[in-house]
Amino acid sequence: MALWSWGANSHGQLGVGTASEQVEKPTKVEVLLYQTKIKQISCGGGHTLLIDDEGKLYSCGWNSKLQLARETEVHNFERTWALSGIKFTNIVCGWDFSCGVTDDHFLIVWGSNAFGQLGIPSTPKEYFSDIMKPIRLPVNAVLVSMGLRHTAIVNSKGEVWTTGGGRHGQLGLGNEILSSDRFQKVDGVGKISHIACGQNHTVAWCSEERALYVWGDNKHGQLLLSSEKYKKIFKPNKIDIGIKQGVKKLLSGWTNALLWLEDGTLIAWGRNNCGQLGTDKAVPSGTFTHIKLPDGRQVQDVAVGSEHTICLATDNTLWAWGWNEHFNTGIDIGNNVLQPTLVPLEIDEDSKITQIFAGGAQNFIIVDND
């Protein structure tokens, strides 16, 4: 098993041992694991978290707000010893804050709390700080997503709870609650099965109703509503988009969103100034477009960064599109890649890509050499 990364690396978030403006092509990453395999990687604005299949946490990159849960910035993946006694089943990064779900479904949060995005109350005062070391919250979390300044969780009942900055409506708590320093329940949604936070918006999917729920900033149509008619939505708006099948993933970039359906279809909407929607054609606000891989290829997996997307096809090829200023796509064809384009990989022909991860402007893939 081998790990490869590319894209922005200004804080060493790619784990290649150095900090640099960017790594222009997929490069092998050395990770010292203790007879375990990588389970999951999560990418923040300039930091990266990794857990192995035993739930041990590793981190590298930007650490200005202690978002690595360690004292110093590191440019290789190093074990996060401050949390060594905990088994994580899921890890999530926001812009400069982080969290992990434990094997007993509790949430541990750390990093920037300047906007209350960690859900740590400001009273009593001794608990509150703009920068927090890891703290365990008494909340049940099955799903978690983090944006620029807010966090959303879904509990075992399918309820949504949010915290953090909310002046664009991204908390879904109404226009009278524009910030929160503790998790509050979002009313008016069904039993949620998927959730994703963008820069200043939140999108959620209810499998039972086969309906989309949206709230927050809609300047670029990222809520799948007309941006002229709806600038901001402060409470969840239910949208029937005519999907009559299951959803594999609901993902969000800063100002765009993507649904991967059970039949392999990719549906995208929102901002498209960098080709985030995988097309060079205009996509009217409030409508979605279908993204298709060349030559009828089928989707194996898909991952979304802040303004770019990488997609693994079932024939073991990797495709990318969107913002490319820091070689986010790994393709040398300018600042933006406007449609799905093959990512050149220097891996053995008999190697198989098994997992892909993206976030911010960085990417990781796991390649099985067996």
- What are the residue ranges spanned by the domains of the chain? 2-368
Residue-level pLDDT at 122: 73
Residue-level pLDDT at 369: 82
Residue-level pLDDT at 253: 98
Residue-level pLDDT at 347: 86
CB-based contact 329:344 (threshold 8 Å): no
- Ranges of residues in the chain with a pLDDT under 70 are 123-128, 370
What is the pTM (predicted TM-score) of this model? 0.97
**CATH code, 2-368:** 2.130.10.30
Residue-level pLDDT at 127: 55
How many Cβ atoms are within 10 Å of 244's Cβ, its own excluded? 6
Burial label for 9, CB within 10 Å (0-12, 13-18, 19+), is buried
- Cis peptide bond prior to 138, omega within 30° of 0: no
CB-based contact 200:138 (threshold 8 Å): no
CB-based contact 42:357 (threshold 8 Å): yes
Residue-level pLDDT at 124: 59
Residue-level pLDDT at 348: 85
- Which residue, 169, 194, 353, is CA-closest to 259? 194
